[in-house]
Amino acid sequence: MHRSGTTMAWNVFKFCTVLRGLGSIMILLVLGVVGVTYYSVVVTNYGPALYDGGLHSLLSAVVLILFHCLLVMLLWSYFSVVLTDPGSVPPNWRPGADEERGEADPLNDSEFNGLQSDSSNQRIRYCRKCNQLKPPRCHHCSVCGRCVLKMDHHCVWVVNCVGARNYKYFLLFLFYTFLETSLVTLALLSNFLTFFSDEEFPGTPGTLATTFLSFVLNLAFALSVLGFLIMHISLVTANTTTIEAYEKKTTPKWRYDLGRKKNFEQVFGTDKLYWFIPAYSDEDLRRMPALEGLEFPSKPDFDSQEF
C-alpha cells in the first residue's frame, strides 16, 4: 500500500515536471497558429481581394478590420495572462478576526494541503508545502510550486496559473479567441467548400493547404473554446472557481455568492469602460486585496464593502 502511494506521488511529480517543461513551447504553438491563420486570411485571401474593386473589396476591408481588431485584443489578453502573476500570499499575511473565530473558509482543503489545528483554533488553513498560512480561497499549485490566491486552475496554454489577478484576462482571452476563430471560420468557409467541389481554387497548392489547415484549426478552437467560455461564465455568475465548484458539492449555501451583478464585478471590476480590456481602473486596483480573498468579510455586503 505504501509502495503504491509512493508510486502515485512519483508519477504526479513527473507529470508536473513535464508541464513545467512545456514553457515557451506552448507560447510558440499559440503564435504558430496565429501566424498560419494570419497568412491564410490576410496574405493569401482577403489582402489581395482589396484590389478587386466593388462589393468584394468592401467585404474584404470589413473582414480585415474586424480580424485585426480582434487579433490585437486576443494577443493583448493572452500575454496579460502569461505575464501577470496570478496572486501570491503576502509573507506577513495573518487571518482576520472572523477567520480566527473559525469562520475562515467553507473549503477546508485538508486532504491536500493540511490545516493548522489546535485547541484555540480549528479552521486556520496552513500549507505544509509552502510553510505558510493560507488565506480563504487560496490553493497550492503543484506545477508552480506555490500557493495561488483564488486559484482557478493551472493552464498549460498560458504557461501560468489562473488566479485572482489574471482570471479576468483569461476570460477575455477565451472571449476574443472565440470571436476571432469564429470570424476566421466564416471567412474561410467558402474557400473550404471549394476544396471539395469541382471549382478551381485560385492560388498555389501551398496556399490551398494553408487555407484548409487554418479553417480546420479555427473551427476546432471555436467549438472547444465555446465550451470553456460557457463553463467559466457559469462560474463567474456564482462567484466560484473551477476548484471550488468541485469542492463545494457538499456545501448547502455558497458564502461568496453575492448575486450575479456583484459576482461579475468581483472579476471584471466596477468600471464599465474596463470590462472588455485586460486592465483595471485605479479604483478597482485599490480594491484588489479583497478581490484576492485577503480581506473578505464573513457576511459580505458589497453595498458598503469594497471588493
Which residues are part of the catalytic machinery? 155
C-alpha cell at position 175: 472571449
Closest among 254, 278, 268 to 307, alpha carbons compared = 268
Phi, psi of 31, rounded to the nearest 5 degrees: -65, -30
The Cα–Cα gap between 40 and 45 comes to 6
- Distance between first and last Cα of the chain: 47
Q: Which residue has the cell 513551447?
A: 25
Please, is 20 exposed, middle or buried when counting C-beta atoms within 10 Å of its C-beta (0-12, 13-18, 19+)?
Answer: middle
Give, in order, the Cα–Cα distances in Å from 163 to each of 70, 82, 84, 92, 221. Answer: 24, 12, 10, 20, 23
Please, is 142 exposed, middle or buried when counting C-beta atoms within 10 Å of its C-beta (0-12, 13-18, 19+)?
Answer: middle
The Cα–Cα gap between 263 and 227 comes to 21
| Alpha helices in the chain, H assignment, sequence order | 2-38, 54-83, 97-98, 167-195, 205-237, 242-247, 260-268, 282-286, 288-291
Amino acid letter at 26?
M
C-alpha cell at position 186: 466564416
Helix axes 167-195, 54-83, angle to 10 degrees: 140
Q: Yes or no: say if 152 and 57 are a contact pair by the CB < 8 Å rule.
A: no
